[in-house]
Structure 1
Amino acid sequence: MKIDVIITPEYIDREYIKGKNVVVIDMLRATTVMVTAIGNGCKEVIPFLTVEEVLEKAKEIGRENCILGGERNAEKIEGFDLSNSPLEYTKEVVEGKTILITTSNGTKALTKSVGAKRIFVGCVLNGKAIAKKLAEINEDIIILNSGTNGEFTIDDFICTGYIIDEISKITNKIELTDISKTAQYIYEQNKDLEGFISKAKHYGRMKELDLMPDVEHAMKKDFTNLVPEYKDNHIIVE
């Protein structure tokens, strides 16, 4: 099993991801939102690139049947029900609902992964469960970091290192590219996640907007054993 890392969706090569399993990470905060919402009983999450696509889909399925969520520049979109805060996606709010979501980075990474063999939604919350699933599949893996506005982010990268480290605890039958080895090494040296990601530009943005409770939630290891999969344009757990 070969494990590679792509640091932002801008570096995706459609031919390269064909036949491989992809794990999309947007730790702060899109994939953390998706995993949290599914854990709290939503019917499904459907990611979109644009606000216009979300509104069109809401009209199609009926506004009463869905929740509109997401952000632009880390802030709630006007007219939407929820922002990109995982703490808003409670059981009381999302249970049984379809969530239509668009974000600056995470939904872009997911939609750009179409063409891969399978696409999983990962974050720190389900990092151990993702690792177990990938070890069971035992096929080539690409971990795709969503980044921020096309730039590398250390929060996604250390989450990647965490997942790789968990895989290595399950099996030694893995081949790591240099960037995968680097991600794992950085995690091994910085298991205090907040101490490391506090240096990230995006962390500073979260702090500026008083979103530190979201960050604290996003750093909870082994929070859930759910492994959501993006399949046929829907994110579900089968």
Structure 2
Amino acid sequence: MNIDLIISADYVDDSKVKDKTAVVIDMLRATSVITTAINNGCSKVIPVVTVEEALKISNNKRCDFILGGERNALKIEGFDCSNSPLEYKKENVYGKNIILTTTNGTKAINKSVKAKNILISALLNAKSVSDRVIDLGNDLVIVNAGTYGEFSIDDFICSGYLIDCIIKKEKDVKLSDIAKTCHYIYLNNKDIIGFIKNADHYKRIKKLNLEKDLDYCCRKDIIDVVPEYINGQIKDYRLFKGNENEKIV
């Protein structure tokens, strides 16, 4: 298995993901939201790039959807939820359809659509995602959502942990230079919060008094679901069997 890494959504193009498994990471906070919502029993998450697209999908069926997301880390006016995973509790999302739009994460997912498989990872479920990656047996490209098109420390260290989980189980692995660097940084900075506290994205979230989100998103392997994106929607991959062509609405 070859493993490569893309540093932000703005660097994704079809040639980099085609015929590979893509794992999208936006640990602060979109992929942590998606993983949490799926774990808490939502029917599906529909990731879209723009607020306008989210409103269009929910038009005339507003009661059928939870609108969630952020712009500049803040809740979007008129939406039900922000981009805090702590809002996506079981009592709020069980059996519901969620439309999510975020500054970085949902953009990264939608730019990866030419991949053979698209998995959603955070620290919360990295070990389970690594198992799924190995089972699929494709070359892997890890897609960091980044922050406003630029490199993000938090996604990078999360990717390093995912790589570590994979190579502990799969011996036939070849890392690109950037993937080697990512893994090396994780091995020497296993205190995740201690490492990412100087990240601009971390500082932005902390400034908004969202320390509980930060603490939660930095927990390793407390969830075992593996969200997968197929045909515009995200579910735990085990729930897609025989329903891959299901319509979004």
| Alpha-carbon displacement from aligned partner over 1:106-163 (angstroms, at most 9, x marks no partner) | 0000000011101000100010101111112221000000001001000000000000
SS in 1 for 2:67: strand
2:5 is the alignment partner of 1:5: yes
The residue aligned with 2:14 is 14
SS in 2 for 1:170: coil
The residue aligned with 1:234 is 233
2:169 is the alignment partner of 1:187: no
1-structure distance, mates of 2:89, 2:22: 27
The residue aligned with 1:56 is 56
Look up the equivalent residue of 2:130 and give its one-letter code: A
| Alpha-carbon displacement from aligned partner over 1:186-207 (angstroms, at most 9, x marks no partner) | 0000110000010101110011
Following TM superposition, the consecutive aligned residue runs of length 4 or more in structure 1 with deviations greater than 6 angstroms are none
1-structure distance, mates of 2:173, 2:106: 29
Return the offset for 1:49.
Answer: 0.7
What is the TM-score when the length of structure 1 is the normalising length? 0.98
Q: Is the 8 A contact 2:13 2:112 kept in 1?
A: no
2:28 is the alignment partner of 1:28: yes
Look up the equivalent residue of 2:205 and give its one-letter code: M
2:156 is the alignment partner of 1:160: no
Matched residue count: 237
Structure 2: runs of 5+ lacking an equivalent:
240-249
2-structure distance, mates of 1:146, 1:177: 19
Look up the equivalent residue of 2:27 and give its one-letter code: M
Mean Cα displacement is larger for which, 51-60 or 160-169? 51-60
**Equivalent pairs: percent with the same residue?**
53
The residue aligned with 1:44 is 44
What is the TM-score when the length of structure 2 is the normalising length? 0.94
The RMSD of aligned alpha carbons is 0.7
The residue aligned with 1:112 is 111
Look up the equivalent residue of 1:160 and give its one-letter code: S
Q: Is the 8 A contact 2:13 2:111 kept in 1?
A: no
Look up the equivalent residue of 2:77 and give its one-letter code: E
The residue aligned with 1:75 is 74
2-structure distance, mates of 1:229, 1:93: 21
Return the offset for 1:16.
Answer: 2.6
The residue aligned with 2:245 is none
SS in 1 for 2:22: strand
| Alpha-carbon displacement from aligned partner over 1:63-112 (angstroms, at most 9, x marks no partner) | 11110000000000000000000000000000000000100000000000
2-structure distance, mates of 1:16, 1:70: 27
